[in-house]
Every structure is written in C-alpha cells, then in structure tokens.
C-alpha cells in the first residue's frame, strides 16, 4: 500500500507514462491527500524503486435514497520496462481488496483502451459510453483542425461553416428565455446554499457523486493547475442552478468545456448555458463540449441550446470518449448499478479535466 514519502516517485512515474500532462507533488497532494474523503493507493516496488501505481479518490455517492462511500480509479500506470508481467492485475486486485476492507462499496473509472480490457479481468463491467455533446461557435476552424484533408476545399468549407454557425446561433437565441427575478452571478467559493440545491435536485438522480459545497470547493476551486469559472443562478435568493466551465488551448484550437452543471429548473439551466456561451465566445473558443447522459433535465436544456452529439468524437479512440465502467464490492447492491440510465455523470466526475 502507498506510504507517506512515496509521492515523489509516484509523480515521476506518472510523468514518464502520461505524456499529455505534467504532474508535480502539489497537484498530487490536491488530487489525493486533500480529497475530502481521502484516498487509497497501491504501488509496485522493485529494489526500492516504484514501478507501478493505482489510486482511488474516495467520494460520497448517492445511490437511490442512500449515500455510500464510492471511489474513482485514477492514474493506473506501469513502468515500460515491466509490462506484461501481471503487475496491472496484481495492483488492481490488491487495491480492490483494500477498498472492500475500508467499506468502499463502489468504484468507477474512465479507462483508456488498454486499461479497459485489463479491468474486465477482475470484476469490472461496462456502464455506458457517455455522450459528448458539442456546440460550435467557429465551425470552419473546427473542421479544418479536425480534418486536415479539408484544406483542399477550404473556401467551400468556410461558406458552409458560416451557415452552420448562423443556424446554431439562431437556435441558441430563440431558446434563451427571459425570466424575472433570476439573478446570474459568478462565484469564487461554494457555500452551504449549494447543499440545498443538491438536496432538491438529487431526488431525480439515481446514482451520482454527492455535490455538496465541501466537495465542490475541493474539486473546482482548489485545483492548482486549472482555473475554472462558475456561474450561479438564484431566484428569490434561492440557488436554482450552477455551471462550471473553462477553456483550453489545443494547438490552433481553443475549446470550451462545461465540466459540471446542475439545475432545479429548465429555465435556470437555459440561462446558465447561455451565459457560458457568451463568456466563452468572448474568449474566442471555436466549440464547447459537455459530457451528458440523455434522460436528464440538463441534457434537454443543452440540446435546446444547440448542443448536439459530437460527430468528430466518432473518430477518437473509445477510451477518450467517456467510457464509464464500474466495479461493485458488495453483491447485495450489484444490480442497480448496471443500469446506465441511473448514472448522472459529467466530465467533472473524471480526472480528465
């Protein structure tokens, strides 16, 4: 099991394996040590050197009318010199044993393709492929960036893109309601008022990470490497909804991400989404993305505001598209978790953004 002092070697291993992100001890400390419910982690060691790691972020999870201890599996990595020696499976089994001993009843994760097949070998199961919804603010830039071959017909693409942008903007404009007494503000910290919102809205959610103010401040306000923005909608001094978002540059692209959204009414959600689109438009993003399962009020509001299932995501490896898997440590509660329609999941429930 992970011991205090292992974090430096673990961070070095992560940086060796995960080429897209740079970790440091400060980020590790936020991700694991500062997590409100704590963490569990296992390492593989050889001659005093850490050559493997797998971690769990512990979270409160609402399941039906109950709140249980759940967890997200994160940062599974094996040193390249020690692949295909059974380390993956051994670490996974050891960590799940520790989770069961600590009464962590449920673990979920968003694995890449190799990890996905490894997890299936010791009791994990598919839940869903989370939909990646997107709306476009600059379709031309998206198309040229996504499909380089289109450069050959760029004038035609540019004209078509402007027409698509015009159609989407009209749809967003006509979907935006005018609501009296609804106040939109930005915040730098969540307070107890979000707990009341969670108490009301969670009645309509089957399975979800508990979004109370303690969790929200840790997840979005304390992360050291990403600066999230938050809009709160209030009506008669009561919180009606919130939305968390940020923009990220990727080469020539500038993409907006809605990482969490929750609302007590569709009108509040439409106003929040409209405010985010306006804010990210000023930041010159070319598109805005959001993970969201169908069947929820938030999904319907996003669709009304011009968000559509991402066509481009069909060309991205499945492990990057929000494949949600889970493992149950109690047979008594196994069956309800297999129904994908019960899970309320956004990209903020992952460690990918």
Residues 330, 309, single domain; the answer is no
User: How would residue 150 be classed by pLDDT, with cut points 50, 70 and 90?
Assistant: very low
- Taking alpha carbons only, the member of 349, 321, 294, 331 closest to residue 116 is 321
Phi-psi region of 249 (alpha: psi -120 to 50; beta: other; left: phi over 0): beta
Residues 147, 108, single domain; the answer is no
Give yes or no for residue 39 having a pLDDT over 90. Answer: yes
Give yes or no for residue 219 having a pLDDT over 90. Answer: yes
**Of 45-49, 142-146, 248-252, which range is least confident?**
142-146
pLDDT digits (tens, 9 = 90+) for 158-198: 556 666 665 666 556 555 555 667 899 999 999 999 999 99
Residues 40, 124, single domain; the answer is yes
User: What confidence score (pLDDT) does residue 65 get?
Assistant: 86
Residues 244, 268, single domain; the answer is yes
Q: Which residue has the higher pLDDT, 292 or 153?
A: 292
The CATH number of residue 159's host domain is 3.40.630.30
Instruction: For residues 280-304, give the mean pLDDT.
Output: 94
CA distances from 267 to 210, 229, 238, 272, 302 (A): 23, 20, 14, 9, 11
Q: Tell me if 235 sits within 8 A of 321, measured CB to CB.
A: no
User: What confidence score (pLDDT) does residue 319 get?
Assistant: 39
Q: What tokens were used for 62?
A: 């609402």
User: What confidence score (pLDDT) does residue 78 get?
Assistant: 95
* Domains held by the chain: number: 2
Instruction: For residues 339-348, give the mean pLDDT.
Output: 89
Residues 168, 254, single domain; the answer is yes
Residues 119, 205, single domain; the answer is no
Residues 99, 138, single domain; the answer is no
Residues 270, 211, single domain; the answer is yes
* Residue 2 maps to a domain: no
* Residue 1 maps to a domain: no
User: How would residue 149 be classed by pLDDT, with cut points 50, 70 and 90?
Assistant: very low
Residues 94, 154, single domain; the answer is no
User: What confidence score (pLDDT) does residue 144 get?
Assistant: 52
| Full domain range(s) for residue 42 | 7-129+322-349
Residues 307, 183, single domain; the answer is yes
User: How would residue 124 be classed by pLDDT, with cut points 50, 70 and 90?
Assistant: very high
Residues 223, 278, single domain; the answer is yes
* Residue 189 maps to a domain: yes
Tokens 């929000």 label which residue? 322
Q: Tell me if 35 sits within 8 A of 57, measured CB to CB.
A: yes
Q: Which residue has the higher pLDDT, 94 or 163?
A: 94
Q: Which residue has the higher pLDDT, 207 or 318?
A: 207
* Residue 170 maps to a domain: yes
Residues 45, 178, single domain; the answer is no
Tokens 């103010």 label which residue? 213
């Amino acid at each position: 099991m992970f011991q205090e002092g292992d974090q430096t070697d673990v961070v070095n291993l992560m940086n060796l394996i995960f080429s897209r992100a740079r970790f440091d001890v400060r980020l590790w400390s936020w991700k694991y040590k500062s997590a409100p419910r704590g963490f569990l982690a296992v390492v593989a060691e050889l001659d005093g050197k850490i050559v493997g790691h797998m971690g769990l972020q512990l979270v409160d999870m609402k399941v039906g009318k109950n709140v249980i201890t759940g967890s997200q599996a994160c940062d599974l990595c094996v040193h390249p010199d020690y692949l295909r020696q059974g380390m993956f499976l051994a670490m996974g089994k050891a960590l799940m044993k520790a989770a069961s001993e600590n009464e962590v009843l449920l673990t979920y994760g968003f694995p890449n393709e190799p990890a996905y097949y490894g997890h299936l070998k010791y009791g994990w199961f598919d839940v869903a492929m989370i939909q990646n919804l997107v709306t476009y603010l600059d379709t031309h830039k998206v198309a040229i960036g996504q499909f380089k071959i289109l450069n050959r017909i760029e004038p035609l693409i540019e004209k078509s893109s402007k027409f698509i942008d015009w159609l989407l903007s009209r749809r967003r404009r006509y979907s935006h309601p005018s609501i009296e007494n609804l106040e939109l503000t930005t915040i730098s910290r969540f307070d107890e008022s979000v707990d009341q919102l969670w108490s009301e809205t969670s009645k309509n959610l089957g399975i979800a990470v508990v979004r109370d103010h303690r969790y929200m401040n840790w997840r979005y306000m304390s992360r050291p490497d990403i600066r999230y923005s938050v809009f709160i909608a209030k009506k008669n001094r009561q919180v009606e909804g919130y939305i968390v978002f940020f923009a990220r540059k990727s080469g020539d692209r500038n993409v907006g991400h809605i990482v969490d959204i929750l609302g007590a009414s569709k009108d509040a959600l439409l106003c929040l989404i409209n405010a985010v689109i306006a804010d990210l438009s000023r930041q010159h993003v070319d598109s805005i993305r959001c993970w969201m399962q169908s069947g929820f009020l938030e999904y319907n509001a996003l669709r009304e505001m011009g968000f559509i299932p991402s066509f481009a995501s069909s060309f991205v490896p499945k492990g990057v598209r929000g494949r949600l898997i889970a493992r149950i440590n109690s047979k008594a509660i196994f069956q309800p978790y297999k129904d994908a329609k019960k899970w309320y999941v956004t990209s903020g429930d992952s460690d990918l953004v």
